[in-house]
Structures are given as C-alpha cells and as structure tokens.
Amino acid sequence: MDTLLYGNDPAPRRPAVVLTVPTVVHAPIQIVTRTTDLETDGVPHPRQPGLGLDEGVFSDLRNVDKHHWHAPRVTPIATLDPETMAEVLRRFL
C-alpha cells in the first residue's frame, strides 16, 4: 500500500493487514503495517517469496481514510494465514 495514505513513513509502499473496515462513512480503516526490521516489537511473520515478502514483523497500528482506499494506492495480495492473523488481532485490537 502507498504509505502516503497514513503519512510519516520512510518507505514509499509497505505491506499491511486490514483489521477493521467500519460501515460508518467517516470512520477510518484500521491496518497494521509490516516491516522487515526484525528488531521491531510486534508480531513476527515468516518470509513468503510467492507474495514478495521477506521475513518481517507486523508492528504499527494505523488509521487510513476510507475515501483513499482504492487502486493504485492499495493492492490486495493475499489473505494472511489464520495463526498470524489471530496473533495480530490479539495484539492490536
């Protein structure tokens, strides 16, 4: 996803997992971004070459305006495995 959607990120694009998509028009979408900095506190996630992902960590809870949540700023790549998703939900919600 384009990091300009939530700002203040040194990377131009970053993988993220969506936590919530509210039905209320003006409520933000909650995401958790993923970094390859393995020293970062968060939920570890293994390398997935088929998705273009090196080993990483889901680490930062962010809010994104729903009006900007569309291509080309956002590119869906896959569904997160159930074990990692459960851990991300436990930690960030």
- When the pLDDT of each residue in the chain is averaged and rounded to a whole number, the result is 93
Give the separation between CA 23 and CA 9, rounded to whole angstroms.
27
CA-wise closest residue to 37 among 17, 18, 60: 60
Total number of domains constituting the chain: 1
Whole-model pTM: value is 0.92
Residue 26, pLDDT above cutoff 90: no
Residue 31, pLDDT above cutoff 90: yes
Sequence-distant (≥ 6) Cβ neighbours of residue 12 within 8 angstroms: 2, 3, 4
Residue 19, pLDDT above cutoff 90: yes
Residues making up the chain, counted from first to last:
93
